[in-house]
Amino acid sequence: MAALAEQRPHLIVGSVLSDFLRDRRQARKTRLKPHELYCLRCRVARIPAGHMVDCILSDAPTGNLCGICPACDGLMHKRVSLGRIGQGQRGV
């Protein structure tokens, strides 16, 4: 294996690279609970300050919930289905 590390240029099989990037992307994904939003600055899920959010409508079936991070005062976001909000999704 040491001989491979010394060879230039390095060759990487496309399917191996694709699998590596997919796995790394999956490991970074954060599953948010109904009452959590994602803080872009802290890069973690948190409950918004004062449990208050704004709903910004985008296209018909979806919208964005935006709030303030209690730790850094940065913006927090969550993409939501407007139908789920209309069904009485609580906890935000």
In tens, the pLDDT along 32-83 reads: 888 889 888 988 889 999 999 888 887 778 888 899 999 999 989 888 887 7
pLDDT tens for each residue of 1-25: 455 667 778 788 889 889 999 988 8
In sequence order, which residues have a C-beta less than 8 Å from that of residue 67 and are 6 or more positions away?
Answer: 37, 48, 49, 52, 53, 54, 75, 76, 92
User: Does residue 70 belong to any structural domain of this protein?
Assistant: yes
Report yes or no: 65 and 46 within 8 Å, Cβ to Cβ: no
User: CA-to-CA distance for 16 and 14, rounded, in angstroms?
Assistant: 5
User: Does residue 68 belong to any structural domain of this protein?
Assistant: yes
Its domain, for residue 68, covers 2-86
User: Does residue 73 belong to any structural domain of this protein?
Assistant: yes
Q: How many domains, in total, are found in the chain? A: 1
Quick one: pLDDT at residue 92?
A: 45
User: Does residue 91 belong to any structural domain of this protein?
Assistant: no
User: CA-to-CA distance for 2 and 86, rounded, in angstroms?
Assistant: 60
User: CA-to-CA distance for 52 and 26, rounded, in angstroms?
Assistant: 29
pTM score, whole prediction: 0.58
Greater confidence, 9 or 92?
Answer: 9
